[in-house]
Structure 1
Protein backbone atom coordinates (compact mmCIF):
# COMPACT_ATOMS: atom_id res chain seq x y z
CA UNK A 1 0.00 0.00 0.00
CA UNK A 2 1.40 3.39 -0.90
CA UNK A 3 1.40 6.35 1.53
CA UNK A 4 -1.36 8.16 -0.36
CA UNK A 5 -3.73 5.19 -0.05
CA UNK A 6 -2.80 4.77 3.62
CA UNK A 7 -3.53 8.45 4.21
CA UNK A 8 -6.91 8.22 2.45
CA UNK A 9 -8.03 5.19 4.45
CA UNK A 10 -6.82 6.68 7.72
CA UNK A 11 -8.58 9.92 6.89
CA UNK A 12 -11.85 7.98 6.54
CA UNK A 13 -11.25 6.43 9.96
CA UNK A 14 -10.34 9.83 11.38
CA UNK A 15 -13.77 11.17 10.40
CA UNK A 16 -15.44 8.31 12.30
CA UNK A 17 -13.05 8.86 15.20
CA UNK A 18 -13.93 12.56 15.44
CA UNK A 19 -17.63 11.75 15.37
CA UNK A 20 -17.05 9.35 18.26
CA UNK A 21 -15.13 12.06 20.16
CA UNK A 22 -18.00 14.51 19.66
CA UNK A 23 -20.60 12.04 20.93
CA UNK A 24 -18.39 10.55 23.68
CA UNK A 25 -16.10 13.35 24.94
CA UNK A 26 -14.73 11.27 27.83
CA UNK A 27 -13.07 8.99 25.26
CA UNK A 28 -10.61 11.74 24.34
CA UNK A 29 -9.69 12.30 27.99
CA UNK A 30 -7.83 8.98 27.89
CA UNK A 31 -5.58 10.16 25.05
CA UNK A 32 -2.49 12.14 26.11
CA UNK A 33 -2.01 15.51 24.39
CA UNK A 34 1.40 14.60 22.94
CA UNK A 35 0.40 11.16 21.64
CA UNK A 36 0.13 10.03 18.05
CA UNK A 37 -3.13 8.18 17.44
CA UNK A 38 -2.73 5.05 15.31
CA UNK A 39 -5.83 3.26 14.05
CA UNK A 40 -5.93 -0.53 14.03
CA UNK A 41 -8.91 -1.46 11.86
CA UNK A 42 -10.10 -5.02 12.34
CA UNK A 43 -11.80 -5.09 8.94
CA UNK A 44 -8.78 -3.89 6.93
CA UNK A 45 -5.71 -6.08 7.56
CA UNK A 46 -3.63 -4.27 4.94
CA UNK A 47 -4.14 -0.88 6.58
CA UNK A 48 -3.66 -2.40 10.03
CA UNK A 49 -0.21 -3.72 9.04
CA UNK A 50 0.77 -0.44 7.39
CA UNK A 51 -0.30 1.46 10.52
CA UNK A 52 1.64 -0.92 12.77
CA UNK A 53 4.75 -0.21 10.68
CA UNK A 54 4.07 3.52 11.02
CA UNK A 55 3.72 3.08 14.80
CA UNK A 56 7.08 1.27 15.00
CA UNK A 57 8.70 4.13 13.11
CA UNK A 58 7.12 6.73 15.41
CA UNK A 59 8.15 4.80 18.53
CA UNK A 60 11.71 4.52 17.19
CA UNK A 61 11.72 8.31 16.88
CA UNK A 62 10.76 8.52 20.57
CA UNK A 63 7.15 9.52 20.00
CA UNK A 64 4.32 8.36 22.24
CA UNK A 65 1.84 6.15 20.37
CA UNK A 66 -1.76 5.38 21.31
CA UNK A 67 -3.60 2.64 19.43
CA UNK A 68 -7.30 2.89 18.64
CA UNK A 69 -8.83 -0.44 17.70
CA UNK A 70 -11.60 0.02 15.14
CA UNK A 71 -14.22 -2.70 14.83
CA UNK A 72 -17.21 -2.43 12.55
CA UNK A 73 -20.31 -3.70 14.29
CA UNK A 74 -23.48 -4.29 12.26
CA UNK A 75 -26.40 -2.26 13.49
CA UNK A 76 -29.96 -1.97 12.31
CA UNK A 77 -31.86 1.24 12.86
CA UNK A 78 -35.39 2.23 12.12
CA UNK A 79 -35.49 5.48 10.24
CA UNK A 80 -38.70 7.46 10.17
CA UNK A 81 -39.33 9.36 6.96
CA UNK A 82 -42.15 11.90 7.02
CA UNK A 83 -45.00 11.23 4.65
CA UNK A 84 -47.46 14.06 4.08
CA UNK A 85 -50.86 14.14 2.46
CA UNK A 86 -53.65 16.62 2.35
CA UNK A 87 -56.54 15.81 4.67
CA UNK A 88 -60.15 16.93 4.28
CA UNK A 89 -60.45 17.63 8.02
CA UNK A 90 -58.68 17.07 11.30
Structure 2
Protein backbone atom coordinates (compact mmCIF):
# COMPACT_ATOMS: atom_id res chain seq x y z
CA UNK A 1 0.00 0.00 0.00
CA UNK A 2 1.27 3.49 -0.88
CA UNK A 3 1.23 6.34 1.57
CA UNK A 4 0.75 10.01 0.80
CA UNK A 5 3.51 12.45 1.72
CA UNK A 6 2.56 16.12 1.92
CA UNK A 7 5.30 18.72 2.19
CA UNK A 8 5.21 22.46 1.69
CA UNK A 9 7.81 25.16 1.17
CA UNK A 10 6.26 26.97 4.16
CA UNK A 11 8.24 24.48 6.25
CA UNK A 12 11.25 23.36 4.13
CA UNK A 13 13.64 20.62 5.25
CA UNK A 14 16.64 22.86 4.57
CA UNK A 15 17.32 26.52 3.77
CA UNK A 16 20.56 27.64 2.12
CA UNK A 17 21.19 31.37 2.14
CA UNK A 18 23.76 33.24 0.09
CA UNK A 19 24.41 36.78 -1.00
CA UNK A 20 21.30 38.16 -2.73
CA UNK A 21 19.33 34.94 -2.44
CA UNK A 22 18.13 31.81 -0.72
CA UNK A 23 17.34 28.24 -1.67
CA UNK A 24 14.66 26.24 0.16
CA UNK A 25 14.77 22.44 -0.14
CA UNK A 26 12.12 19.78 0.41
CA UNK A 27 13.19 16.11 0.39
CA UNK A 28 10.69 13.53 -0.93
CA UNK A 29 11.99 9.98 -0.89
CA UNK A 30 15.01 10.00 -3.18
CA UNK A 31 14.19 13.37 -4.74
CA UNK A 32 15.01 16.90 -3.69
CA UNK A 33 12.87 19.80 -4.86
CA UNK A 34 14.07 23.35 -4.42
CA UNK A 35 12.61 26.83 -4.52
CA UNK A 36 15.07 29.62 -5.25
CA UNK A 37 14.51 33.29 -4.50
CA UNK A 38 16.95 35.81 -5.95
CA UNK A 39 17.21 39.54 -5.46
CA UNK A 40 17.68 41.80 -8.51
CA UNK A 41 21.25 41.64 -9.83
CA UNK A 42 21.91 38.11 -8.54
CA UNK A 43 24.30 36.08 -10.71
CA UNK A 44 25.35 32.49 -9.98
CA UNK A 45 28.90 33.11 -11.20
CA UNK A 46 29.30 36.10 -8.89
CA UNK A 47 27.27 35.21 -5.80
CA UNK A 48 27.74 31.42 -5.57
CA UNK A 49 30.37 30.22 -8.04
CA UNK A 50 33.01 32.73 -6.97
CA UNK A 51 33.07 31.26 -3.44
CA UNK A 52 33.32 27.75 -4.93
CA UNK A 53 36.04 28.73 -7.39
CA UNK A 54 33.80 27.77 -10.34
CA UNK A 55 32.68 29.71 -13.40
CA UNK A 56 29.54 27.62 -13.97
CA UNK A 57 27.30 25.18 -12.11
CA UNK A 58 27.85 21.51 -12.97
CA UNK A 59 24.45 20.29 -11.71
CA UNK A 60 21.60 19.46 -14.12
CA UNK A 61 18.49 21.55 -13.48
CA UNK A 62 14.82 21.63 -14.38
CA UNK A 63 13.27 24.97 -13.54
CA UNK A 64 10.28 27.22 -13.83
CA UNK A 65 10.26 31.00 -13.36
CA UNK A 66 7.16 32.06 -11.43
CA UNK A 67 7.89 35.77 -11.26
CA UNK A 68 10.50 37.96 -12.93
CA UNK A 69 12.89 36.60 -15.52
CA UNK A 70 15.90 34.30 -15.73
CA UNK A 71 18.74 33.89 -18.18
CA UNK A 72 20.83 30.74 -18.50
CA UNK A 73 24.14 30.33 -20.27
CA UNK A 74 26.13 27.18 -20.90
CA UNK A 75 25.99 23.88 -22.73
CA UNK A 76 22.19 23.78 -22.91
CA UNK A 77 20.72 21.01 -25.01
CA UNK A 78 17.16 22.31 -24.99
CA UNK A 79 15.59 25.54 -23.84
CA UNK A 80 11.84 25.80 -23.28
CA UNK A 81 10.33 29.27 -23.37
Q: Same fold (TM over 0.5)?
A: no
Instruction: Give the TM-score taking structure 1 as reference length.
Output: 0.25
Structure with the larger RCO, 1 or 2 (CA within 8 Å, 6+ apart): 1
Could you tell me the TM-score, scaled by structure 2's length? 0.27
Q: Which has the higher strand share?
A: 2
Structure with greater helix percent: 1
Question: Which structure would you say has the larger Rg?
Answer: 1
